Amino acid sequence: MSNDDTDEERLFRERYAQELQKKMNQPDARSYSQDDEMAEERRKVSHQQGKTPGRRGEKIKQEEIDKEIVRRNRLQQKRKKN
């Protein structure tokens, strides 16, 4: 998390990170992989960013998606080791 975040941005990051983690735990009838899910979320955010350039919220979302992808990859590696 960036040190120059306002309280509002910090709360936004926390809520969005929780939303991404919830998506991992939801049973999905479409049954596509978690990587596809994150790629789809990134496409949605990038599309919105293109429609409304310069909004800090989309930049924050991109950063949180990156963090979630790294977290999921580490979790998957730990599972493989065990």
Asked whether residue 54 is assigned to any structural domain, the reply reads: yes
Asked whether residue 60 is assigned to any structural domain, the reply reads: yes
Asked whether residue 62 is assigned to any structural domain, the reply reads: yes
Read off the pLDDT of residues 28-68 as tens digits, 9 standing for 90 and up: 545 557 678 888 888 898 888 888 877 788 888 999 999 98
Residue with tokens 């580490």: 74
Model confidence band, residue 23 (pLDDT cutoffs 50, 70, 90): confident
Asked whether residue 1 is assigned to any structural domain, the reply reads: no
Model confidence band, residue 15 (pLDDT cutoffs 50, 70, 90): very high
Domain count, the chain: 1
Mean residue pLDDT across the chain: 82
Asked whether residue 2 is assigned to any structural domain, the reply reads: no
Q: What is the largest CA-CA distance in the chain?
A: 44
What DSSP letter does each residue of 4-66 carry, written as one string?
T--HHHHHHHHHHHHHHHHHHHS--TT---HHHHHHHHHHHHHHHHHHSTT-HHHHHHHHHHH
58 lies in which domain range?
7-81
Global pTM reads 0.63
Note the pLDDT of residue 29: 45
Q: Which of 61, 55, 60 is nearest to 43 (CA)?
A: 61
